[in-house]
Structure 1
């Protein structure tokens, strides 16, 4: 892990579903892969916390990542948590503000003189985000640049860090949602959920319309159903008896097909393939809650 004492604050629009999901992914990525202190309201506050005090303290962080989607920009101009945070940021002359801008949007006017990074917020695990994530990390950890490196050393350091990011991004900390992965990244593995609800799924190419899914990284059985559109009706473990029947290590499945895993903590993840395109797949999933 990289050691870094400076703190990071993630500022995002509270009422934006996509903005919040991206902020959560970014928080989990930074805290699980790097040794940093990150202020993020979902993890740093609790019932009874004075949010204004929290935002005032967080805004004094050395680095501030602003999730600047359309909703964030709108909230900057009205009385809101976003406006309060931005006003507090203006008081912190030492802050290194890094605006994160949606790939097809422009930089918000209050940040017009700042160097920004464009990312795909709708799909944090998009391989095209590897370069933006590298740029963010390179700015958060400037100590690397203080050493006397040859050009060769710089190139080796860059390749090492990009490879680390490449093998770290295919994960989603949520217990339900959608995930798109490239089958050629991280050996086709995707990490879903956290703690006792954690699952690692592995995929590989099969044919034009199908993919292979493996049970190598779960502690129990793999179930597969060739009946389509039963994802929504699977709510309890008992629902697996009628619709899921395969216990093989490897199965080939296509668009619309459902799958389910059981991990060593007796949690069940149910998913459904939404799209297969070349070496990429998209699926939705949910962890059945006890």
Structure 2
């Protein structure tokens, strides 16, 4: 889906609400989403109901901005009586469109977040302006199906006939200790085991980090399981964005110290940053340990 067509349905509650919808639509268009919005596409003299039906039929997805007014109008079945009647009702929302509806909650602190016709559809809550960017990213990922890409590949049954012995079963199960599917978090593991590998993220956002012993408070990082690794001397803070132009990506291996940051690029051209928290080498019966925090950029 290169430039998805997205129709925005909303009620004209007041100027502030219309301005918020306009900003959301503008942000989406700036990120490649072909938004169909009455403020841009409904000209004077055009038939409102025809515009709504055409917008629905030509769109890949429909965003329903579910304010309290929108929900009330949808439940009452009002529609086609001016801009404030720009709502999605069950009569307009045919069954074939139900799967493609994304309810967006805005100016709605009531108990009923979405119209009754939507059933129990999940939604994205934009009520809190402080969380706008986080919710916007979530919405954009849904529009471009990036949320689906995070789903990991289906593994093999560890109890199948060709794997049916206690050693291979235990080895397969123990590998779960060396992975964290979250987009942001921490990891702590014995880097002498599992070939020094620890996996973060899932799907297109999966990164297999690879490590080996170096010295006190230092460790070797390898790009063998990813596409590139980047290092910048003196970088001790995980970057907020993906401007990694100051990092050097030319080496296969890097010596990284406690407190330093390493950037990884996987084979899907996604980025992650890892900050080393603690390194313990194996000595006198004490296990080797590597602890790091990380962030995967979506």
Calculate the TM-score normalised by the size of structure 2: 0.44
Bigger radius of gyration among the two: 2
Calculate the TM-score normalised by the size of structure 1: 0.45
